Structure 1
Amino acid sequence: MITFPNTPATAAALSVATRFCSPALLNHSIRSYVWGAMYASAHAIAYDDELFCVAALLHDTGLTEPFDSHRLPFEDAGGQLAWVFGVAVGWPQERAARARDVIVLHMRDDVPAADDPEAHVLQVATSWEVVGRHAEEFPERARAEVLTRYPRLGFGAEFLGCFEDQARRKPDSAAAASVRRDVAGRIAANPLETA
């Protein structure tokens, strides 16, 4: 099983995610790291493991009540929190900005691995997690192992509720566009929802 990088920043990010995310959202964030690391390894994608781990753990904090912005899309709010977090743990501002960018980009159009490996890996991992995209990348045995260790705990329904709420309040956001493109149906069809 893939483990987190053993750094103060990743330990702190896990503490933040544990404190502010629901159990389902926390496990989703952890699984996003695990799926992404698995995918990067299988495709020999060189990436910054600590940066990716922090971004994966914090990528949905903008959906939580303490950090939800009524003006910014959740990924922008979460990205800003990641910047603050990075500076607070002693990262240079440029590295903190990278964490922000990875989180923002995970909700944008596909980013090639050559352009931004961390954002690419987070996009693949989260699109697998939420709507089952890239299912061929994650063998049944790996799925079972990850889901046993970090169960979904009703993640699909909770996440859909978050996106529908974002769509109502922020109609120009990527979350609203996902709702218009039937994210509900895609979540229901995700093989992880019935595993």
Structure 2
Amino acid sequence: MVPETPAAAAALSVVRRFCSPALLNHCVRSYFWGAMYGAAHRIAYDEELYYVSALLHDLALTEAFDSHTVPFEEAGGRLAWAFGTAAGWPVERAARAEEIITLHIRADVSASADPEAHLLQVATSWEIVGRHAEQFPSDARAELLTRFPRLGFAGEFLASFEDQARRKPGSAAAVSIRNDLATRITANPLEGPSPS
């Protein structure tokens, strides 16, 4: 189910090196949630492109790659572009990874317009605030959370977004904080007891 390509392996190496265990598991789960949703809805997508984008989508929240002036999703998109070109991707393919990551916390993108961005939006909104809960059966939730536990992800993520909001008050992260992200994270069913 995970693409076996040099770029996919390199993306996993990058996030293992620079992300905390909780953030690493979030990025991996984001790929699997999106793939699960895509299969259920028969959405055709580029597996390698989606995998790399899902793994790298929060890299700019890490200390090593945090930008003090650019919103994290834009900085992360630029990192994905650099990663893609270094991996030997054509410029257009690297630009797609940049676009997917930049869009992942913006207004909804339809599956027909951009399947990879749509999958990442669905996956991350489920991961963070529990949106689309009906799309993810309890047995699938339990299995994925056992393989890739949350490890205090909600608190770590909220602290990152609060920090982003303080430093970048015009960013999408700041809008999320003003829209009571803390309450929505707490209400996420993934933060409760594991489903049986």
The TM-score range, normalised by the shorter chain, is over 0.9
CA distance in 2, matches of 1:34, 1:161: 24
Identity of aligned residues (%): 71
Q: Give the TM-score normalised by structure 2.
A: 0.98
Q: Quick one: which of 117, 120, 123 aligns to 2:121?
A: 123
CA distance in 2, matches of 1:131, 1:58: 20
2:48 is the alignment partner of 1:34: no
Instruction: Please tell me the residue identity of whatever aligns with 2:116.
Output: E
**Which runs of structure 2 are paired with 1:64-83 in the superposition (5 Å)?**
64-83=62-81
Equivalent residue pairs, number: 193
Per-residue deviation, 1:4: 1.1
Partner of 1:12: 10
Instruction: Please tell me the residue identity of whatever aligns with 1:51.
Output: L
2:179 is the alignment partner of 1:181: yes
**Which runs of structure 2 are paired with 1:109-188 in the superposition (5 Å)?**
109-188=107-186
Runs of 4+ in 1 over 6 A off after TM superposition: none
CA distance in 2, matches of 1:118, 1:97: 13
Per-residue deviation, 1:146: 0.1
Could you list the per-position Cα deviations for residues 66-110 of structure 1 after superposition, in whole angstroms to 9, with x for gaps in the alignment? 110011000001100000000000000100000000000001100
> Where does the alignment leave 5 or more consecutive residues of structure 2 unmatched?
none
The SS at the match of 1:67 is coil
Could you list the per-position Cα deviations for residues 116-169 of structure 1 after superposition, in whole angstroms to 9, with x for gaps in the alignment? 000000000000000000000000000000000000000000000000000000
Partner of 1:90: 88
Q: Give the TM-score normalised by structure 1.
A: 0.98
RMSD in angstroms over aligned alpha carbons?
Answer: 0.4
